[in-house]
Amino acid sequence: MGQSKVTPLPSNLDLAGKTAVVTGASAGMGLETARQLLARNCDTLILAVRNTTKGEACAQELLNNPTIKAKAKCPVVKVLPLDVDRYESVQSFAKCLQKEVPVVNILVLNAGIARLNMERAPTGHERCLQVNYLSNALLLFDLLPNLYSSAEKSGFATRVTWVGSRRHDGGGTFESAPPAPGTSILNRLDSDERSSVTTRYADSKLLCAMFMYALAPRLDSSKIVLNMVCPGMVSTGMSDFLPWYGRVLAGALKVVKGARPVEVGGLLIVNAAVVAGVEGHGRHFSDKEIMEVSEYIRSEAGQAVQKTLWEETLQEMREITSLPAEIS
């Protein structure tokens, strides 16, 4: 069964005077999101990328895009290094961003991975857990003061959109194999025994959703609007890590499911980032619609996992950074 049709963004959407940051911006939906923001007159765009050489080539590609090149005002496109495998890179990026960019109006947390085999990040954590969840949590905590001050300087709430996945909805291995009371949630995802290509990505996205649901009520939504969005199945290079036969199967699935062009994926991210209203604060969007909190997350077992996850995440972050007052 194909995916539903997506309606266009408002024709009068104008981001003149805005500064946006997109992580994982050197390919796929990150690069496309960057292009669409610039096409709607975003003044300054920060491409946060692992490979700065590739990032500079992407910046030039964006500036040479006919739609963007035809604009009366040439936008500023900057490339800053961000390796979400490493905590120290996340913190260096946050410090550099605050130094070079006085106001951030839009932050898109797009960087993410899926992996076939069990891999460890330099932090020692399983890589999907590190890249998809922990590094994004650290980046948010380190940037919160800047995001609040940006709202005060601009007079508008800073928008933060995190790219999630509907695959978190089923509860993953946490529902199929509930953790015993007192079990570490982070250690569970770090475990070689629990790590599986069929669940690793979905479990990491479940943690992202739980963290977003826990963090959002602690934020002042008049200053920071935080949401999450799943753009559905999109034709990107996300499955390139698979062996050839896996890529063939993934390609067939994309045909059967009607995978969307990358332009549609970018459109849905931009919609969540700049079109959706404050009613979307602390909510997960599926396409353009707000999802109900999943049955598993609402359950007693899910709430217990979310509470443990929040406490463990804060404990890990305290060893790395100073948490903002409203969080600690």
Catalytic positions, please? 201, 205
Instruction: Report which residue type is found at 162.
Output: W
Residue 94: name the closest of 153, 144, 58 by CA: 144
Cα three-residue angle 282-286-292, rounded to 5 degrees: 55
- Structure-token pair, residue 226: 């935080």
**Degrees, nearest 5: CA angle 313-200-31:** 85
Extract the tokens encoding 160: 């933060």
Instruction: From residue 256, give the alpha-carbon distance in Å to each of 160, 233, 252, 276, 299.
Output: 33, 11, 6, 30, 33
Report how far residue 150's alpha carbon sits from residue 155's, in angstroms, rounded to the nearest whole number.
8
Q: Which of 306, 323, 305 is nearest to 314 (CA)?
A: 323
Q: Which spans in the chain are helix H?
A: 28-39, 52-63, 66-69, 87-100, 127-128, 135-154, 172-176, 185-190, 200-215, 244-257, 262-270, 295-298, 300-318
